[in-house]
Every structure is written in C-alpha cells, then in structure tokens.
Amino acid sequence: MKKSQTTPTVDESLMAIAERHSNSWRVLLVRRGDRPVALQAREFPRTDEAGLASWLESQRCADLRVILPASACIVRTTTMPAAVPQQMISALRLQAEGMFLGSMPMCRIGLAVLDGADDADRQGVIMAWPEAQLGVGLGAKLETIARYVPEPAAMLLLATADRPAVLADRSVGSIAIAIRTDAGLIIRATREDAANGVDGEGDWIAGIRRALVETALNGGMEPGRIAAFADATIDSMTRDGDHMSLLDPAIRSVLESRVQTSIPAADEDEWWVSWATALAAASVACGPLADLSRLRRFEERSKPSRIERFVERYSSPPRAAAVALLAFAIIALAPVGAAWLRGLILEMKMPESARLFEGSQRQIEQRIALYGEVSKRNLPVAKILGDLACCTPDGIEIESIQVSGTQGLSVRGVAKAQGERSAAESVNQMAKLMDSSGVFRQTHWRWNVPDGRGLFKFDLDAQIVGAVRPASIEKDNDWSKMTLAERKYGKQEGRQEGSSSRDPSIASESARGDQGDSAAQSPAATERAPLAGAVAAAAPLKSDAEPAPKESAGAADGETAGAPTIANRGIGRREGSSAATGSAGSDSSKPATAPSGAGAGGGPAATALANTPVPESVTDAQLSAMSKDELRTLLSDISKARRRKDLDADTLKRLADDFDRILQQLKKT
Amino acid sequence: MPTLSSHTSAGGLADRAFNGYLGLPRAGRWLVLAVIGFGGFTVLDSWAWPLADKLSSRADRLETVLQRASQRADGLPRDVREAAVAFGPNAVLGDEASGKERLTALIAEIFKKRNISQGQDVRPGQPLPSSIAQTLGSISDAKLGKTVAELQFKATPDAVLAIVAELEASPEVDAIGDIRLDYDPKDKRVGVQLTVEKWGFQTGAKGGGA
C-alpha cells in the first residue's frame, strides 16, 4: 500500500518569534505586514521543543525567528556616508568584511541602516553571530525553519530618547544596552559571566553597572553624571528570575505604534513589557531593519548532501562532544564486550563448565605428553617380553633376559635340535623372527661348542627399535592366537581360535570397564574416551604378555588365557610351568589340560596321539595335482591317524584305502 | 514526551561547560584537551585494554582447548595409541612426594599378596630435563623429578611375569627401567632386578633440571 503523504499547507504570512528564557520558551505568533499583528502568545517548557514544533505545525507556521542573546552577538555601529540606501548597504558590507576579514559567514551577519535626522547623519549597524558562539541551540526540526534575530536588533526599537533600554539575562551572562543620545544610538552587547550563588549576584550587578558606565562613556555622557546614571538605571530595572530589564514606561505606546495585537492579555501594560523584546523583534523582522532578523546558523544551500547534513548535525560542539564521549565509550568497551562475548560463546560449546573442561583437557594432554616422554626414555617391558616370547621357536630355552633402554635386549639360552631342525637353525630362526618383527633390529648371536646331547648355549643381542610398535608376528608364532597345545596337537573341536577374552574388541570393552574405571569416574569421562579407548586397546597385548598370577587364575580368566604365551616359553618352559604340571583342567589353552581322548592311554604321547587330526579323503584328481612332497606329507599324516585307536572301522578303512592310493601315486611320480 | 535536544535541560549544563571552555585562554583550552586526552588514555590503558586482553587471552585459550579436544575426538595419533597400548594406563603427574608414597604402597601390596620378599631401594628426587616439564605443561614452572625404586626379588616364572605386568599396568608406575631376569634351575625360580619409575613435580623447586 502506498503511503499517503500529506502536504503541509504553510501560511507564509505567519511568523513566530521565539525567545528562550531560563526555564521556558516564549513564542509570539505574528502575521506579517507593515504593521504586524500578534495573533497568539504561548509559553512552552524549555525542554519541550517538540511541543513547540508541533504547535508551529498546527499553526501552519514555517518561519521561526529566534531571539539571539546579546552575549552571542557582536554589534558595531558606524556613521554612513550620504548615499542612496543601496550604496549605504554596500558600504556597510565592505566595512563588515573589513571588520571580520572573512572569518564570519555572511549568513551570520546582519546589516541595517538606521533612520537619521538627515541623510548625512545616518548610522549603520553591523550585527554578527560568531561561529564559536552557540547562542541558542535547537533541534534539527526547528533548526531547518529557524532564523535568528539578535537581541540588540530588538533593542533598536526599545530604546527611547527618554530612557535607555537594558536587557540582561544572568543565565547566559547576556547584557544588552541601547541608549539614544544626541550623537545617535549607542548600542552595546556584552557578556558578563558571574559566578553562581549569593556572591555571584553582587558580581553580576557590578558587571551590569560596569557595562552601563562603559556604554555611557562611549556615548559621550559627562563623566560626572555617569555614576548616577548607572545607579539610577540599575535601581530602575525590573527582575524576573535571571532576566532583568529596563524599558521606557511608555513602551506600550511605542510598540503599539508598530505592532497590532488581538491577544486579550494585551489589554494590560504588563503584557507589553513582558513581551516587549518579541514584539520589537517582530517589528524589526517586518520593517526596513528586516536584514537584522535573518541570521542563519549555517549557509543556506539548495540541497545539502547527506554527508553535509551529517557534518552539520554533529558540528554542534555539545553534540560533537557527546558523540566523542560515545565513541570513547565504544573504544573502551567494545573490545571488552567482544572478547567477553567470544568467551561466552566458546563456553557454551563446552559440555561442562569451562574450568572443569579446561582442567580435564589439560590432564588429558599431560597424559598424552607423558606417554610421549615415557616412550622416548623407557621400554614397555611386559610387551617386549611378550614379543620376545613370540619370536622364540620351539627348541630354545631362555635362561636369562636383560632389557635395557640404552643397551637393548640381551638373551642367554640353550638351544637343542628339534625334529629335523638343528639347534643352530632354531636360533637362526629366532633371530630372523626378531628382526622381522619390527620391534628388534640387528639381532646377532654367539654360541659355544655343543655338548654331547647336541645342546649348546648361546648369547643373543638385539637393538630395540620399535618398542611400542605392534610386533609383526605371524599368526602361527603368536602365542596369544595359537597356544603350544594347538601348535603341537592341532586345534580342539568346539574351541574357537583364541578365547573370547582374547578377542580384541571384547577385551577392549572389558578393559574399559576394568582399567578405565578411574577415567570413567572422572568429570571428563567423555573427553577421555579416546584415551581410555587407546588404553583399553592395550588389553589384548597386555593380556598376551601378562602371565596369570596363580592367586588370580580362577577369578580372571581373561587374563590367564594369555598366560602360556610367556610362562610356557623361555624361562618357565622346562620346569614349573603349567604345561608340565597339567593342573588346570578346564583351560584348553594350556597344553596339559587338553582332553586326552578315548584310548589315549595317558601321558604326553597318548595326548599327542589323541589329538592327531584325521585327514580328509582326497580324490584321484587331487592326488594327481599334488607334488611328491605333498604326497609324502599326506601319507605321513594318514599314517599317524591310522595309529589312533578311537577311530571307527569305516574311517580306518577309508584311511587304508587312501594310504594305498597315495603310495600308488608316489610310485607313478 | 518532549524531545530533548543537546541544548535543553542537560544541554544547559553542557552549554555552560562549553561556553566556559570557550572562555578559557588558548593555553587553557589546550590544557583541558590534554587532561581529557590523558585521562581517557589512562582509563583505556589501565583498565579497558588490559581487561580486553585478559578476556581475549581466555577466549583464545578456550578456543585452543576446544580445537584440541575436537582433534582428539577424531582419534589419537598412532604413536600415542601404540604407547598407550604398550605402557598401559597412566595418571596425571602430581606431586613427587605423594607419587613416591603411592609407588611404595603399590610395590608393598603387590609383593605382599604374593608373599614374596623383595629387596628395595627407593631413590626420590632424581631430576628430569626441564624440557620434559615444558612438554608436560608444567604451569607452575616446577622442577620435574622421578622417584626410582630398584627392586630385587626371586620368584617363580609365573609370579615374576605377573608382577612385572602388574607393575607396568598400574597408573602409579610411569615406566619400568632396566630389567634383568635370571633363571636358576636349582630352585626353579627367576631372579629379577628391575627399576620402577614414578614421575612427579617437585614441590618448591623451580625450573632447571638436568
């Protein structure tokens, strides 16, 4: 919907004269004319500029003349040469320019030529409003329609031959004096800043008196009369608050001759005295002295740009000071507020209070850094021992281990022949496994002369280069995945590879519950989750490396499941190991606890026989595709299986048939 | 409600103040400007800017904490994961003296429950390089030291390895130093010499370190 625009109708014949007092605005609405007519007289609170503007709008008046205090004006009178009025104005302008040397905008200068007894005796008046003087401050709305009438301009009409006119306002320190003398009109505008308070009153009166004396001296009054004149003038002044005035008692007739009025209150003389300045200003604005009533604060331009308006708006010193104060406050507070707000937003992103969260994160970082520093300077001994165990093949018995962060690994042990593999080959294989594990490097070993049984002692040294790195060990050599029993006798039926406690995922969960409980109970449990998870992930390795303490074997199956890895290798293999004692009946990971099987007859040999797997039946095509070595291996397996006494007749018959077919195939190849 | 311009009630005071300022001699005006400027700068320099710096530093710190936490949420670096797996749980570094107490208590408990007698030499206060303290975020600039417990004992192979594993898995032990295992076939036991370390900040000590 298009916004309806009301075009305000302005009555151009109307003019408002506004006079600001210490607590109020006094406004006279006047209709222009040779003899202007005062239509209304209103008073507004000094703070109610908006009310004044609304009233003017309601009266359709767009011409506001504001009386400028004498304290904000400079007044000069000069004798004019005899010339036509236009030439006199030009001469007066030249004088004004010479007087102010271009420092005063013309919009702030008013020029007028006063009537004289004859053309050769005329006075020119220059009234200027310096830019440094605020005068009367107005809001933007009123400023656009305001022009200013210097108070001394009104005094031109208020001074009579009988009595000087004096207007003084203590609130702004303004003193205006007009005296008609034989030499012409003496007009004075000055400022007297009196101190507030009782003592200031005396100074204020003294200031008025001094101004009167100076003005009288300037007017050529006899010095002997001056003091009496000043005293009489001050004594005759009337007072209304800060406002003091002295006017001719016959001022009503003077003003009535120039201004008409339809205001009822104008019937009283007091009203004419009270509104004398405004009425005189109205008369000035409508008469030949009108140029004195058209002062403007700023140069009039066709259409100032937005920037110009902005600059003008904030050129008012108090407003500029307010803006500067605001800017200072912003400069001071904006960085503080921005930083505080940023911190607040970041705090909101945290799952708990910033202090707790920061503390918990610092702890986590410290723990991570601690891992870094510890891993630089120390070795994970349990893991190294576990890795060493996995690199130790069957046939080697370790007697001494030394692990040092500076000297690496030193092992002393005994090697013996194992099946077709000699003792030396076993040690060589151990060195090879260690070098390929990624944990050890530059493994070398020395041995002595073998004894009569083929056993020889050896010393083995290696550098530890990847202490924390997961060892690269084949599944068949990993004790945590394949126990000694499984290696020797094959996997037991119904037993999955690796016990459930060795399943990394389950072990991790278990570790989270067991080992990570301290972290879980801390305030930052959530944030520690990655660390706790990483720590928990240690469980499989650690459980691999940790032998089960005998005291806790029954309670912690998850940990004891890995016990044979080290306990059955190296140090504890020959004597005292659980493999030898065969005591833990239900734990299938322990070799001696494997089910003996029917007909095994007891003892290790029987146990091994009972665990001998029965090879699957093979077809002729499969036999044809096999190499000679494969055929021999299969023949050996079938031969071992046929020695089992727990097999049924069909199986034995199938094994016999297979045995014959393999023999035939061997002969062919 | 009346519109207050800058020259109304409050403006009266401002007008008088400004007129008073204009009434000053030139040197006085400069002096007033200098006093206002110096006062403003003093307020900014002694209060506003330090406060803003303090708040900004805090916000930077919180941002860093959040960023690091976010990165950790994506996963720990491989070396940290491997170290955590290899060394087991650790604990935030604390006071060295209390760490020593907890370490000795742990050792006593482990050996007591296995009914094993151990030879023990606990040496506190061995300094660690100051670079480690910086790495570990010593906010108090305290000196970092380690308590080293040298243990000697003899036990069955199972017990030995259980003890080693339990020591290393405990948060009260930051690391196991050198270890020597010797099997004695006569009594079928393993003789062990090992050093156990617990790190901590030394109370009252500042900076430095070996």
pLDDT of A68 over the 80 cut: yes
Average per-residue pLDDT for chain B: 83
Alpha-carbon gap: A477 to the closest alpha carbon of chain B (Å) = 19
Q: What total of structural domains would you count in chain A? A: 3
pLDDT of A580 over the 50 cut: no
Alpha-carbon gap: A601 to the closest alpha carbon of chain B (Å) = 30
Average pLDDT rounded to a whole number, residues A191-214: 78
SS (H, E, C) A282-321: HHHHHCCCHHHHCECCCCCCCCCCHHHHHHHHCCCHHHHH
Q: Which fold has domain B93-206?
A: Alpha-Beta Plaits (3.30.70)
Strands B175-184 and B189-206: what pairing?
antiparallel
pLDDT of B84 over the 80 cut: yes
Cα separation of A99 and A451, whole Å?
A: 132
Nearest to A616 by CA among A668, A658, A566, A572: A658
Lowest mean per-residue pLDDT among A47-61, B68-82, B94-108: B68-82
Average pLDDT rounded to a whole number, residues A252-263: 90
- Position A363 in a domain: no
In this predicted structure, what is the pLDDT of residue A542? 35
> Do A141 and A34 share a structural domain?
yes
In this predicted structure, what is the pLDDT of residue A503? 36
Lowest mean per-residue pLDDT among A45-49, A188-192, A243-247, A476-480: A476-480
Angle between helix axes A538-545 and A381-390 (nearest 10 degrees) is 70
The vertex-A265 CA angle with A262 and A267, nearest 5°, equals: 80
In this predicted structure, what is the pLDDT of residue A91? 87
Alpha-carbon gap: B59 to the closest alpha carbon of chain A (Å) = 4
CB–CB contact A318 B18 (8 Å):
yes
Cα separation of A505 and B76, whole Å?
A: 18
Alpha-carbon gap: B58 to the closest alpha carbon of chain A (Å) = 7
pLDDT of B46 over the 70 cut: yes
CB–CB contact B88 A566 (8 Å):
no
- Position A427 in a domain: yes
pLDDT digits (tens, 9 = 90+) for A441-473: 999 888 777 776 667 889 999 999 888 888 888
**Residues in CB range of A159: below 8 A, 6 or more apart:** A165, A178, A179, A180, A185, A187
What residue numbers bound the domain in which A531 lies? 381-591
CB–CB contact A534 B76 (8 Å):
yes
- Position A185 in a domain: yes
pLDDT band at B107; cut points 50, 70, 90: very high
Average pLDDT rounded to a whole number, residues A262-290: 91
Nearest to A588 by CA among A605, A563, A613: A563
Interface membership of B24 toward A (CB under 8 Å): no
CB–CB contact A576 B188 (8 Å):
yes
> Do A286 and A201 share a structural domain?
yes
CB–CB contact B6 A318 (8 Å):
yes
In this predicted structure, what is the pLDDT of residue A119? 65
In this predicted structure, what is the pLDDT of residue A7? 53
In this predicted structure, what is the pLDDT of residue A292? 92
Residue of A nearest to B50 (CA): A336
> Do A566 and A648 share a structural domain?
no
> Do A422 and A275 share a structural domain?
no
pLDDT digits (tens, 9 = 90+) for A517-537: 333 333 333 333 332 332 233
pLDDT band at A31; cut points 50, 70, 90: very high
CB–CB contact B161 A547 (8 Å):
yes
> Do A634 and A485 share a structural domain?
no
pLDDT band at A664; cut points 50, 70, 90: confident
Any idea which residue has 């593999």 for tokens? Answer: A421
SS (H, E, C) B146-190: EEEEEEEEEECHHHHHHHHHHHHHCCCCCEEEEEEEEEECCCCEE
> Do A637 and A569 share a structural domain?
no
- Within 10 A of A287 (CB to CB), how many other CB atoms are there? 17
pLDDT of A591 over the 60 cut: no
Alpha-carbon gap: A262 to the closest alpha carbon of chain B (Å) = 29
User: Which of A45, A368, A542 minimises the CB distance to B169?
Assistant: A542
pLDDT above 90 coverage of chain B, percent: 34
ipTM score assigned to the predicted complex? 0.78
**Where is the domain boundary, A249, A280, A300?**
A300
**Where is the domain boundary, A282, A300, A318?**
A300
Residue B153 one-letter amino acid = F
In this predicted structure, what is the pLDDT of residue A64? 94
Q: Which residues pair with B198 in a beta bridge?
A: B147
Domain residue spans in chain B?
10-69, 93-206
What 3-state DSSP class applies to A389? helix
Alpha-carbon gap: B163 to the closest alpha carbon of chain A (Å) = 8
> Do A490 and A405 share a structural domain?
yes
> Do A569 and A454 share a structural domain?
yes
CB–CB contact A371 B83 (8 Å):
yes
Average pLDDT rounded to a whole number, residues A390-417: 89
pLDDT band at A139; cut points 50, 70, 90: confident
> Do A622 and A578 share a structural domain?
no
In this predicted structure, what is the pLDDT of residue A510? 34
Q: Which residues pair with A177 in a beta bridge?
A: A166, A188
- Position A496 in a domain: yes
Give contacts of B 83-122 with A, CB under 8 A.
83-93, 113-114
pLDDT of B131 over the 50 cut: yes
CB–CB contact A134 B15 (8 Å):
yes
pLDDT digits (tens, 9 = 90+) for A483-498: 777 777 766 554 444 4
Any idea which residue has 């035939």 for tokens? Answer: A664
Please give the structure tokens belonging to residue A161. 């031959």
Kind and range of the H or E run holding A112:
strand A109-113
A·B CB contacts under 8 A? 297
pLDDT digits (tens, 9 = 90+) for A543-572: 333 333 333 333 333 333 333 333 333 333
Residue of A nearest to B157 (CA): A572
> Do A422 and A566 share a structural domain?
yes
CB–CB contact B199 A370 (8 Å):
yes
Instruction: Indicate yes or no: pTM above 0.90.
Output: no
User: Which of B5, B48, B135 minimises the CB distance to A369?
Assistant: B135
**Residue A225, CA distances (Å) to A206, A452, A457, A666 in order:** 18, 155, 143, 161
- Position A8 in a domain: no
> Do A620 and A574 share a structural domain?
no
